[in-house]
Amino acid sequence: MNIIVLVKQVPETSNVKMDPETGTMIREGLETIINPLDLYAIEAALRLKEQHGGKVTAISMGPPAAMKALRETMAMGVDEAALVSDRKFGGADTWATSYTLGQAIKEMGEFDIIMAGERATDGDTGQVGPGLGAWLNLPVVSYVAHIKEVTKDSITCDRLMEEGYQVVKAPFPVVITTVKEIAEPRLPTLRGNKRARQTEIPVYSTENMTVDVGSLGLKGSPTKVVKIETPKVTRSGTLLKANSEETIESAVDQLIEWLKERELV
């Protein structure tokens, strides 16, 4: 079974500090990491390979520095990796990103499954996986929480929806996007790290893949970001101490009043 995992490198925002004055995020000096939600897709791919044989290939579109994320996936056990990188790819929206990834994947040969994370923690759209499915004209099973059955030519998954789980059976090749429930990601190993350092990672660019130059990067993107604002997220709410019998009682009464005023009860 050949599995391709899509991996995006994102800024590490989990230890991010907030500017107390403006209530906005301080973005300077952030490290880059593998999109945390991609770890679940990587883990699911590795488990499928362990159970059914085959190969897992990680692919990332980004600047040369995204090599670091690819090497980290190899340290976790991914067999091969490919970087999709070219100045012309910069500033791509999800339309152009999924187009470019699709063209690169066409160069890479046969596969059964493409796995993606649910969302990337920066752009946060969740559109690249389904978009790629459309470019390659493949079925997409999104929000996959459990893999129930795998045969030589199909996969059956639980797809998490608002009301419950939809059980979907799809033939290979298929695009799957995963949620956290699917698997607990493993840590990189020393052996994996060593192999990752020693492996040559190929780069796909406009030099060695077939692309329509008008469909690339910022220029090829139908959506344009016109403005970015950093909203103040702090709210100046009432804060009551409740550390004795009376103060607890009074805090609860005031809360109920407050809820009533807002017609929340």
Partner 1 sequence: MSYVWTLGEQFEGKLRGVSFELLARGKKLAEELDTKVCSLILGHNISDEDLEELIQRGADEVYFVDDPRLADFQNETYSNVISDLINQYHPHIVLAAATTIGRVVMPYVAIKVNTGLTADCTQLEIQPETKLLLQTRPAIGGNIMATIKTPDHMPQMATVRPKSSRPLDKDPSRSGKIQRIVLKDELVDTRAKVIEFRTDDAGFVNIEEADVVVAGGKGLKQAANVKLVEDLAKQLDGVVGASRQAIDRGWLSYPHQVGLSGKTISATLLLTAGISGSIQYLAGIKTCENIVAINNDPEANIFGVSDFGIVGDLFEVLPLLTQKLAQAKK
Rule CB under 8 A: is residue 19 a binding residue for partner 1? no
Contact pick of 153, 187, 231, 246 for partner 1 (by CB under 8 A): 231
Contact pick of 141, 183, 196, 216 for partner 1 (by CB under 8 A): 141
In 3D space, the residue among 192, 233, 177 whose CA is nearest the CA of residue 71 turns out to be 192
From the list partner 1, ligand FAD, none, partner contacted by residue 7 (C-beta under 5 to 8 A by kind):
ligand FAD
CB 214, CB 103: distance < 8 Å: no
CB 93, CB 222: distance < 8 Å: yes
Residues that bind ligand FAD (CB under 6 A): 6-8, 14, 35-38, 41, 60-62, 92-95, 97, 101, 116-117, 119-120, 122-129, 223, 225
Decide whether 19 or 191 has the Cβ nearer to partner 1: 19
Rule CB under 8 A: is residue 121 a binding residue for partner 1? yes
Distance CA 117, CA 144 (A): 10
The position carrying tokens 């004795």 is 244
Decide whether 151 or 252 has the Cβ nearer to ligand FAD: 252
For the CB of residue 5, give the shortest distance to ligand FAD in the complex, in Å: 7
In 3D space, the residue among 18, 5, 113, 130 whose CA is nearest the CA of residue 60 turns out to be 5
The position carrying tokens 């590795």 is 46
Distance CA 135, CA 116 (A): 15
Decide whether 172 or 204 has the Cβ nearer to ligand FAD: 204
Q: For residue 210, report the phi and psi dihedrals to the nearest 5 degrees.
A: -85, 115
For the CB of residue 55, give the shortest distance to ligand FAD in the complex, in Å: 18
Rule CB under 8 A: is residue 124 a binding residue for partner 1? yes
- Tokens, residue 165: 């789980």
C-beta neighbour count of 54 within 10 angstroms: 16
Rule CB under 8 A: is residue 29 a binding residue for partner 1? no
Contact pick of 64, 190, 214, 235 for partner 1 (by CB under 8 A): 235
